[in-house]
């Protein structure tokens, strides 16, 4: 009998210790989550990955510098991959959201889909799914509008371009209208491949993103000189 009581006491003691340990770990995790700086996540393709230039020259890196210079306490995570499509972006988005817990997500995808002639419904459905995932994760969403060359046929080209404003209206998310608008027709700002913007074009891309993004940011405690 004594032995059974002793075993029960040991069990209760270990159970209590495990409960206290779990409580402490939960408190630490919650504190870490509270202390974490808000994050801007950029989910894009080569246009945001800095193709053909150093990482420091890309518009995403310039965004990181601007946020710091103006006193915004945001981290910037660049989850962009050259050659990425809406399909592959969708596949890796859940893990990316779980890993970084972003406050704002900039979705810059679809250009490669358009260049491959991916069916309009597929592109729209993939982007819709990404928007829903980001919203479920509690993130603000910014959609970067894409265009493709007119040699894909006017019907497909117009339908592709229309995807972005249509989704922005449907889901009431912010839209960067025609992300490459300020650089696409200036060949001095396009690399030799005729597709990718040069390093000199990156500040213009950032200036296209900034007015839309700034509305989604928490204002810094002390506003730095602009």
Structure confidence by residue, pLDDT tens digits, 41-67: 999 999 999 999 999 999 999 999 999
Which residue among the candidates 45, 61, 113, 196 is catalytic per the annotation? Answer: 196
pLDDT at 121: 98
Sign of CA dihedral 83, 89, 93, 94: negative
Catalytic annotation on 46? yes
pLDDT at 108: 98
Which residue among the candidates 46, 48, 80, 103 is catalytic per the annotation? Answer: 46
Length, in residues, of the chain: 226
CB burial readout 119-135, b (16+ within 10 A) else e: ebeebbebbbebbebbe
How far is 155 from 102, CA to CA, in rounded Å? Answer: 36
pLDDT at 23: 42
Closest CA to 202 of 42, 91, 30, 7: 42
Give the side-chain half-sphere CA count within 13 A for 213.
25
pLDDT at 127: 98
Catalytic annotation on 65? no
Catalytic annotation on 193? yes
How far is 34 from 153, CA to CA, in rounded Å? Answer: 51
Question: In CATH, which of 1.10.150.120, 3.40.50.1110, 3.40.640.10, 3.50.50.60 is domain 37-214?
Answer: 3.40.50.1110
Segments making up each domain of the chain, as ranges? 1-35, 37-214
Which residue among the candidates 35, 37, 54, 193 is catalytic per the annotation? Answer: 193
DSSP 3-state of 174: strand
Taking 50 as the pLDDT cut, the residues of the chain under it are 1-12, 14-34, 224-226
pLDDT at 222: 58
How far is 210 from 214, CA to CA, in rounded Å? Answer: 6
How far is 10 from 85, CA to CA, in rounded Å? Answer: 57
């Amino acid at each position: 009998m004594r032995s059974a009581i002793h075993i029960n006491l040991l069990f209760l003691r270990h159970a209590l210790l495990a409960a206290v340990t779990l409580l402490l770990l939960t408190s630490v995790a919650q504190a870490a989550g509270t202390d974490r700086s808000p994050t801007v996540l950029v989910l894009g393709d080569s246009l945001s990955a800095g193709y053909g230039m150093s990482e420091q020259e890309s518009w995403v890196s310039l965004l990181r510098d601007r946020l710091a210079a103006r006193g915004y306490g945001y981290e910037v995570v660049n989850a962009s991959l050259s050659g990425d499509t809406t399909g592959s972006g969708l596949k890796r988005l859940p893990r990316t959201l779980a890993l970084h817990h972003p406050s704002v997500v900039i979705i810059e995808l679809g250009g490669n889909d358009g260049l491959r002639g991916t069916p309009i419904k597929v592109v729209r459905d993939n982007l819709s799914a990404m928007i829903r995932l980001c919203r479920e994760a509690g993130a603000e969403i910014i959609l970067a509008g894409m265009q493709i060359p007119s040699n894909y046929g006017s019907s497909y080209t117009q339908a592709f371009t229309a995807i972005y404003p249509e989704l922005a209206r449907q889901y009431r998310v912010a839209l960067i209208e025609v992300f490459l608008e300020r650089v696409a027709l200036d060949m001095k700002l396009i690399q030799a491949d005729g597709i990718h913007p040069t390093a000199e074009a990156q500040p213009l891309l950032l200036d296209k993103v900034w007015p839309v993004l700034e509305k989604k940011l928490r204002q810094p405690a002390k506003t730095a000189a602009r």
